[in-house]
Structure 1
Amino acid sequence: MRQVHGADVAVADPDVVPTADALILDRPGVAAVVRVADCVPIVLADAVAPIGAVVHAGRVGMAAGVVAAAVESLRERGAAQLHAWVGPHACGRCYEVPEDMAQEVDALVPGTASTTSWGTHSLDLGAGVAAQLRALDVPATTVGGCTIEDERFHSYRRQGEAAGRFGAVLALREPGAAA
């Protein structure tokens, strides 16, 4: 998908590259990937139905509701037992932002305002995503750490324009196939 820091959801089609920040996968044989370098990558999958999604939750998209939009779209398509995996992202100890931005995002997603390890205003997007998933009754597993602190991951904040991207991939298996 062509990620644009928004809340649009698209359904994966091997012949189309949609502009969206959540990509629904509803058939085996197709893989979906989300690419990030500080934003929160999320994989959602249903335990029973062959459906899932990858989600790009940056500051703007998370505040605009991309997580809820993806979960709602999955449920509309039959998902009933969703689980989320939340990947490495910039943590609240490191993601420094101006005070007004922290307050603005926290007003939309309570619990995201934080403080850096050096005492300035920051955002904890992981905490915001976790709160949104809890509110949607979607259990989550956190994978990885802080992209700014951990050099195993690309970080736009740490590396600037030279930053690469890393990703999370979802591929659905055929019903009845071994895990």
Structure 2
Amino acid sequence: MVTIADLGHGVRAAVTERHGGTSVPPYDSLNLGLGTGDDRETVLANRRLAAEDLGFPADRIVWMNQVHSADVLVAKVPGGVGTCDGVVTTRSDLVLASLAADCLPVLAADGERGVLGAAHSGRSGTGHGIAGNLVATMVDHGARPEHITVFLGPAICGSCYEVPPELQAETARRTPEAASTTRRGTTGVDMVAAVTAQLRRAGVTDIRADGRCTLESPELFSHRGGAPTGRFASFVWRV
């Protein structure tokens, strides 16, 4: 199963779920993340299955080596773009991917100008402004903030994401909207609220969200829900 969103001007975003692949427990079954401990060939087979289901070849996908940074790179060819947590392209044939299992996928497009972006916004990346960096890089390559549409994928919600007070303060230093209180009354981080605020400050007004909490949604992988676990992918591409 996948969730597909129309971002306009022939651009689509999609989020995969955990079922429909070939991985065995605890990665069952559509694990798309290498480096999780799952069998490499199985993950590559899953990536082909996911791409086929969405209607594009797997060899068009751009993958990031995600490290919880605020760095953004520009993709000119498919495959591994390098170590970063944001990627931008102006090529119409590339599919950008972001992997997650609680962190927030950010999928962005200025369809009129043909500029696409994808980011992986974890707690650290959120605190250091990866979403704003993504928009800035898109603008450097011809996008206009007011014409960018962003789709936020599933992530652990602010009511579930409990962190120590010092980590909450660190994350909320630049973006106060990151601070939340969990259902247990403890300090937390709300990555969706923080990234939404960052995008608005960058001039983006069309912001849409999947809305699901990965910890509360059994169809999605969640690191906090049961590590080791797999990764779902969020994609953005031109049809």
TM above 0.5: yes
CA offset at residue 14 of structure 1? 1.9
Secondary structure class of the residue paired with 1:33: strand
1:140 lines up with 2:204 in the alignment: no
Secondary structure class of the residue paired with 2:120: strand
CA offset at residue 25 of structure 1? 2.0
Q: 1:127 aligns with which of 193, 197, 207?
A: 193
Q: Quote the Cα distance in structure 2 between the aligned partners of 1:6 and 1:151.
A: 28
2:3 corresponding residue in structure 1: none
Question: If each structure's strand is expressed as a fraction of its own residues, which one has the higher value?
Answer: 2
Q: 2:120 aligns with which of 40, 56, 59?
A: 56
CA offset at residue 137 of structure 1? 1.7
1:85-116 CA-to-partner distances (Å, cap 9, x unmatched) read: 00100101100000111122112211111111
Secondary structure class of the residue paired with 1:102: helix
Q: Quote the Cα distance in structure 2 between the aligned partners of 1:14 and 1:96.
A: 36
1:6 corresponding residue in structure 2: 69
Secondary structure class of the residue paired with 1:146: coil
Residue identity in the other structure for 2:199 = L
CA offset at residue 16 of structure 1? 4.3
Number of equivalenced pairs: 172
1:38 corresponding residue in structure 2: 102
Is the 8 Å Cα contact of residues 127 and 173 (structure 2) preserved in structure 1?
no
CA offset at residue 60 of structure 1? 0.6
The TM-score normalised by the length of structure 1 is 0.92
Is the 8 Å Cα contact of residues 4 and 19 (structure 1) preserved in structure 2?
yes
For structure 2, which runs of at least 5 residues remain unmatched after alignment?
A: 1-63
Q: 1:110 aligns with which of 156, 160, 176?
A: 176
Instruction: Spell out structure 1 runs of 4+ moving beyond 6 A.
Output: none
The TM-score normalised by the length of structure 2 is 0.69
Residue identity in the other structure for 1:137 = G
Q: Percent identity between the aligned chains? A: 36
Is the 8 Å Cα contact of residues 104 and 121 (structure 2) preserved in structure 1?
yes
Q: CA separation of 1:47/1:102 partners in 2, compared to 1, >3 Å: closer, same or farther?
A: same
Secondary structure class of the residue paired with 1:119: coil
